[in-house]
Structure 1
Amino acid sequence: MDMATGEFQASTENSRNLAIEAHGLVKRFDGTLAVDGVDIAVPAGAIYGILGPNGAGKTTSLRMLLGIIDPDAGYRRVLGAENPQDVARLIGYLPEERGLYPAMKAYEAIGFMGALRGLPLDVGRERGKELMEAHGLGHAVDKQIRQLSKGMAQTVQLLGTLVHEPKLVVFDEPFSGLDAINQGKLEGLIRGLADKGTTVIFSTHVIAHAERLCENIAIIAGGKVPYAGSVEEARDRIPAQVRLETRKREGRWRTALPAETRQVGDFFHFPLPESGIEPLLKALIEGEAGILSLSIERAGLHDAFVAIAGEAAARDMVADAEGKPA
């Protein structure tokens, strides 16, 4: 076997372990560059988050991956198919723009959405009743969509996304508009899907959801992906932070503190030295600083996002989450 053949086989084997892979996706609208060279690789069975503020290119990227729109340049493969439409029946997609026929009964709406993905209508309707019962909406099975609360209608559309038991589920801003209780329920549902081997990819501008759910993420800012990889690797880009409180305020031990040390009230804050905490502890003890408390805190995903995408993108994310103009 020559080198080229070996590399091809290795690449093919790697592709078999990916539910989605994309390289160099580019999309323009009316001459404006919306997505500029997006690379994404989503492992099969993973919960994968795409993070970025509104307008960053998240929705456009998802629509290209699903074959709803075609890229102007680049390559994509979804569930092993180069044309995503060939595997559309294996995919569940919940767009950010929600919409159901208001006159339909709830279980019929779920069955109808399943039928759009190839599920027999009668099977979808029966599954719709079962899913609504399982998710606490059994009392609303026969109600029309117009009679449901906003949260109940969103749940019905979510169940319609899953009724045909897809292998890949794509959610575009699924937590938007949900209260804290329903956000928690949705997180539980996503974990349940992954436990069954379903691949879940979702976009969000709320970092906390991705930090709780995902092992791998892609950060999109300005139509580019400055980072794609594990949450742990993203957090490790920033040194852990030390929080120290001492009985004494002055002494020779102060020279052992890193140059970046900030004093806030009774506490000293500084990055964990590359040499570790032990040499510093030794200096503090020998200098009789009187350690009252010392904690080491790893950087959160929000801090990593700021370091990778920049403060402007992070401010936009916060504004989007709070529903305020940036």
Structure 2
Amino acid sequence: MRERGRTGRLVVMFETRHLTRRFGELVAVDDVSLEVPDGATVGFVGGNGAGKTTTMRMIMGLLGPDAGEVLWDGAPITAAERRRIGYMPEERGLYPKQRVLDQLVYLARLHGAGAAAARAEAVALLEAFGLGERTDEKLEKLSLGNQQRVQVTAAVMTEPAALILDEPFSGLDPEAVDSLAEVLRTRTAAGVPLLFSSHQLSLVERLCDRLVILSHGRVVAAGTREELEAGGESRHRLVMDVDTGWVRDLPGITVLDVAGPTALLTLETADARRALLTEALARGDVRELAEVRPTLAEIYREVTR
């Protein structure tokens, strides 16, 4: 794991600068810049067609950019450095008629691992994913979820210098999700930077240090959860022992929802908050007046609308 710089900031392992890719008249990726520091887990979030997969393919050199560049430790990335990245594509790239363990060992040896070491690592990972008794089966005999576990195993083997995973949790049951999350934590704890895409916002919220949100090919928000919250709309929840419909009549307040004794609202000023509390105390018992932390889904909807 690399040392921190003099500022205390982690050295960036890989990043993109102003990546752009067009398909005819369609701008699929539009000036996308992002960075993935050592040991960080970065969630890549966006709807279908937002540009996530195209960006990952350009990072891996499978597509050439029309503009922009991919950097590895501050310099243009090379083919040798790309070979050190554990990559899981959107489409499964394994051999359906080959035995699970055999092809994992084969792929690991292509990355320079010895046969014995590759076999031992593959068996350990398959056991961690609940496939320890199915190592000699052909891939096509497994369910789609179990095929996904094998695909992820292929990506994380042989101590990759970085990980880029396109929808790695798709099709996995909760137990497999937990197993994969634990394996990924061991990699990032060793300093491996991880970029992964997912439509499961609750999972991204749970696992990621940083988030990059794409919409129509552009980055519309990026940063830590705290940074994204700071840029979002502040909300408060009022809970009383009486109906809270009266909040609609107060100035300086935008009412988002009222359901009997509970109101969700935004306060324009500190004076509006004080006026709300004074009026609430005059009308009954105040059980709660608190700032509400937005969910990632709410942040996502706000920045992509």
**TM more than 0.5:** yes
The answer to whether the 8 Å contact 1:251/1:287 transfers is no
Q: Are residue 131 (structure 1) and residue 125 (structure 2) matched?
A: yes
Partner Cα distance (2:36, 2:202) in 1: 20
1:309 alignment counterpart: 304
Please identify, of 162-171 and 287-296, the stretch whose mean Cα deviation from structure 2 is larger.
Answer: 287-296
* 1:228-239 pair list within 5 angstroms: 228-239=222-233
Number of equivalenced pairs = 300
Amino acid at match of 1:99: G
1:92 alignment counterpart: 86
TM-score (norm 2): 0.86
The answer to whether the 8 Å contact 1:21/1:42 transfers is yes
1:102 alignment counterpart: 96
The answer to whether the 8 Å contact 1:272/1:296 transfers is no
The answer to whether the 8 Å contact 1:221/1:309 transfers is yes
Partner Cα distance (1:304, 1:252) in 2: 28
1:184 alignment counterpart: 178
1:144-168 deviations in Å (ceiling 9; x for gaps): 2233232222212211112211020
- Indicate the SS of the match to 1:302: helix
1:167 alignment counterpart: 161
Q: CA RMSD in A?
A: 3.0
TM-score (norm 1): 0.81
Q: Residues 277, 210 of structure 1: CA spacing in aligned structure 2 closer, same or farther, 3 A cutoff?
A: farther
The answer to whether the 8 Å contact 1:15/1:80 transfers is no
Please point out which of 282, 285, 291 is paired with 1:287. Answer: 282
Amino acid at match of 1:306: R
Please point out which of 290, 295, 299 is paired with 1:300. Answer: 295
Instruction: Report which of the two has the higher share of helix.
Output: 1
Q: Are residue 62 (structure 1) and residue 62 (structure 2) matched?
A: no
Q: Which runs of 5+ in 1 are unaligned?
A: 1-10, 311-326
Q: Which runs of 5+ in 2 are unaligned?
A: none
Q: What is the percent sequence identity of the aligned residues? A: 32
2:69 alignment counterpart: 75
Please point out which of 265, 274, 278 is paired with 1:270. Answer: 265
Q: Residues 206, 282 of structure 1: CA spacing in aligned structure 2 closer, same or farther, 3 A cutoff?
A: closer
Partner Cα distance (2:135, 2:265) in 1: 56
Q: CA offset at residue 250 of structure 1?
A: 8.3
* 1:225-264 pair list within 5 angstroms: 225-249=219-243, 258-261=252-255, 262-264=257-259
Q: Residues 280, 85 of structure 1: CA spacing in aligned structure 2 closer, same or farther, 3 A cutoff?
A: farther
Q: Residues 73, 253 of structure 1: CA spacing in aligned structure 2 closer, same or farther, 3 A cutoff?
A: closer
